[in-house]
Chain A
Amino acid sequence: MRRPLAKPSVLATLALAACGGAPMSAADAPMGAGSQPVAPDTTPSPAPVSAGSPDVGPRPTLSAAPTWQPDAPQVLTIPGLPPVWLFERHTLPMVSVEIVVRGGAADDPPGRAGLCALTAEMMEQGAGRHGALEIARLFEQLGADASVDADLDGSSASLTVLKPNLRRALELFADVVSQPRFEAAEWKRVQSLWLAQLEQRPFEPADVASVVGRAVFFGAAHPYGHPVDGHLDTVGKLKLDDVLDFHRAHWRPDAATLIVAGDVTPDELRSVFAPAFAGWVVPTKRPAPTPAKGATPSGPWPRTVLVERPDAAQTMFLLVANGPESGRADLVAHQLGNIPLGGSFTSRLNSNLREDKGYTYGVRSSIDAQRLAGRWSIRTAVHADATSPALREILKEVDGLAATGPTPEELRKARASAWGDVVSTYESLEGVTDRLAELAVLGLPADDDRRRTVALGTVPDADIISATRRTALRGATIIAVGDGARIRAAFSEAGLPAPALHDADGRPVASEAAKPAPRAGQSGGAK
């Protein structure tokens, strides 16, 4: 595959064995020209071509771009249901449903990291009249995809089903949300399997960087300081009662939004959805308060962290800095300002590190705007031999953009590609429900994508330039996972402080006691 990315193709039967890359959304995926982005000269003229080359005609002149904003969902109040956001689309007999609640991993109590995620997992292990295997079998019988997932700011239960099976699938789905069985035997299984999977995390450098980045940047006490999946010691201490408490506190209709997209009418919300959810009632106890905001990370910066992975083929870099949280007025300006830095293939970072230098398969930057805090980050895996020059070039591009802000061409590109992303999001029902669920969890209005899409064109250039010039990335927290000697040298050559040594869970370790990540593998022959 040309660049790390994209959703795997369509149907399970398609042997798309290409060369899978790190998951990177297509529009997030970087790449480009020289360090100086090629100017999109907009006045095409016939280019000179060697004699004998086939004639393909002149480079075409393009007409004006289309204008489009997504339709806002209908916001409906239906007796017996949480607030409903309905996005009608009747072209296929298919329905996608998502119930979101505002209880997320940020609500994990101190010392109980992973509770929200294990609650979601336990909700899939049987509900109402059906045990774990039985309910899975029934959903499959209906050709329905159902799952429960945890995230930082909220949790969601999702269902996608063909219309004729909607009623039956909804009955099961409502049980999953409101009547999970939470059986002790299932808990034992889930907890033990979860721990087994956490044992694997230190072996995946990209995951290690994420976990350590969160712990070091926010601090372990911050609501965002731990991974959604938790840690070995915190998950090991969880009890089934904790799960019951978390579900009771957060999975309640007065803390939920019901998102529905596809072949459904408002009448069907009353006739099909409301009866299915009749058993889901508001408890008398007051809902859990939203988590305290936590201290905004405040340095001192720059700060460097090393996680040892001796002889690793690549060094994984993650740079993290404060960014805007959701709902901030300058969020769109930041999102647009990020695109020239590392938000698309032709971004400065990717043009330089990949296309000019060949240090990496790809590098990207992103704005991660959550409810309590926001981050601006850069992430890449570089050839171990290029550890030092790669870090130098990353810092150079950060400084370069901060010094001058984006060029007019970059500003135009940023607006256009951000708009293209919105269009792609609205192609599939699951894309729509996921996006609307995100808005609901962040406490944003249902028509926020409409507003935001307009803002992509109207936010003043000066605001975008200002966002990039104020970027906190110049004093970032830098996590590096890989060979210690190379990484120490890289920090030293960049004039940065010597790194603190952390383990794969983000905890500081004394250097002698440091348990290195496993060594490189070797390919053995046949026996």
Chain B
Amino acid sequence: MQIRTPLAAASAAAITLFAALASAAVAPPPLEIPVRRFDLDNGLVVLLHEDHTLPQVTVNLSYQVGSKDEAPGRTGFAHLFEHLMFMGTERVPRGAFDAWMEAEGAWNNAWTSEDRTDYYEVGPSHVLPLFLWLEADRMATLGGQIDQVKLDLQRDVVRNERRQTSENTPYGLVELELPKLLYPPGHPYHHPIIGSHEDLKAASVADVRSFFARFYVPNNASLVIAGDFDPATAEAMVRQHFAGIPRGADPHAGRAPVAPPAPAHVREIVQVTDRVDQPRVHFAYQTPAHFQADDAALSLLGSVLSTGKSSRLHAALVYADEVAQDVAAAQWSGVFGSRFIIQATAREGVTAEALQTRMDAVLSKLLKDGVTTDETERARNGVQMAFVSGLQGLGDRAGLLNQYMAEVGRPDFVAADLARYTALTPDDVSRAARTWLAPERRGVLWVLPVPEAAEAPAKPAAQEKP
């Protein structure tokens, strides 16, 4: 582990700083992820983070493109494209990307969010040259290599991903419903990342090529190398493989700024039925974007509401009143705005309406009286622990460096990030709650069990047909 600074040095000073944890005045721990940055002429940002604890290396290549960048009628495309990135090029036959890596004990994966798409590889340190070459190869040429066969195959895989994670899982529909409840049509977050079957079916090879040409350019990406490597050698390799890839036009030029958080788009109660045992009630609010004022305060508020048995919602609804079997509340931070979601699942015999009334009682008391010093401290201590603990994994650190690069424009931000939380007072949290969680701002989603009568074997349900 290589969170250098007083920490890794295990000095008495570091210990002393941490000893302040449980007291009222919490000093921010001196966290740091040592990093060196250089930029290529084509705009690619490169970040090097050495850690020789284990003979392991990871590469994280992040493109600033996500479901927010999708064209009308093409929801789900950014994520479908992510799948196509593994389908091979002229130099790398289909299947070889994975086969060559696994032959050396390495593996890879990727994910897509509303805001970004991250590709990463993890493996023994000797595989780094292959990681870099494979990433450079697909950044240089992939778009022109996608044909109808590859597209059709991954479209099927992605549609199965949707079936598995949204359609055939209890409460899986929530992720499909919340975006359109929160955001109006035309907002970049109006649709779910996974997209609709209809739009996925409509995606064409031409779409793939133009998406690649616009977004998969070096000036829209940053590359992290983390782990057991020699920085001079790594820099030379990066230059050798990536420097010849031409810069593209700025893919985000001329994009209209996104409006500040508004009240939820739909404010009537939205009800959906699903194969579930009990009703679940969600309150959803648009809240300030990641790293903006009140973003951290709302994160702490999520902990105050639902982390641990003594949190507000748990203590009241699960423990004391026994009207809910589980509760959750969290700030989900995004670049164009965040969402704050509060949810509770009913106990048997409790209606959605009754559960909502109880949730309202807890919230209105919180908005009226504010949060306590004790609650704020506990939430802050939990965040500090999560920062230290979360930086243990090499892949986690690499991903975080790229997130900071993409969202605040500099990688060395972990201490400043933690300081956002440690600086907060109970008043900050209470004020954020009153500002953003006012009842008139929220959308409400109920997930209800399919009525008994409808369970009789009958005509096929309203599923999409292939």
Residues of A within 8 A of B (CB): 1-6, 9-22, 26-27, 29, 31-34, 37-40, 42, 47-50, 53-57, 59-68, 89-94, 132-134, 136-137, 139-145, 160-165, 168, 189, 192-193, 196-197, 199-200, 202-205, 263, 309-314, 316, 344-346, 351, 354-361, 381-383, 385, 409, 412-413, 415-417, 419-420, 423-424, 426-430, 516-527
Contacts and interface: CB of A to CB of B under 8 A. Distances in A.
Interface string B410-451: 000000000000000000000000000000000000000110
A39 B322 CA distance: 58
Given A10-B391, A66-B55, A27 B160 contact: no
Contacts of B338: 15
B8 A54 contact: no
Contacts of A203: 170, 275-277
B238 to A, nearest CB: 11
A141 B170 CA distance: 34
Contacts of B296: 13
B194 interface: yes
Given A144-B385, A416-B104, A62 B95 contact: no
B113 A16 contact: yes
B268 to A, nearest CB: 6
B45 interface: no
Contact of A361 (B107, B160, B266): B160
Given A90-B10, A204-B170, A314-B163, A419 B99 contact: no
A381 B168 contact: yes
B107 A136 contact: no
A56 B309 CA distance: 55
Given A38-B100, A165-B21, A383-B159, 14 more contacts: A4-B164, A12-B330, A15-B338, A18-B113, A19-B79, A33-B99, A91-B10, A140-B310, A140-B381, A199-B348, A344-B107, A355-B157, A412-B103, A420-B107
B392 A429 contact: yes
A383 B302 CA distance: 37
B130 A517 contact: no
Given A63-B126, A524-B271, A346 B98 contact: yes
B125 to A, nearest CB: 6
A56 B133 contact: yes
A56 B228 CA distance: 23
A13 B290 contact: yes
B177 A523 contact: yes
Given A142-B381, A192-B322, A344-B107, A516 B457 contact: yes
Given A19-B79, A313-B163, A520 B275 contact: yes
A311 B1 contact: no
B378 A137 contact: yes
B156 interface: yes
A345 B99 CA distance: 9
A358 B156 CA distance: 5
A49 B10 contact: no
A9 B399 contact: yes
Contacts of A68: 54-55
B194 to A, nearest CB: 5
15 contacts: A13-B299, A14-B400, A16-B113, A18-B111, A18-B112, A20-B165, A40-B100, A56-B133, A59-B130, A62-B130, A65-B124, A91-B1, A91-B7, A92-B3, A311-B463
Contact of A60 (B21, B114, B133, B270): B133
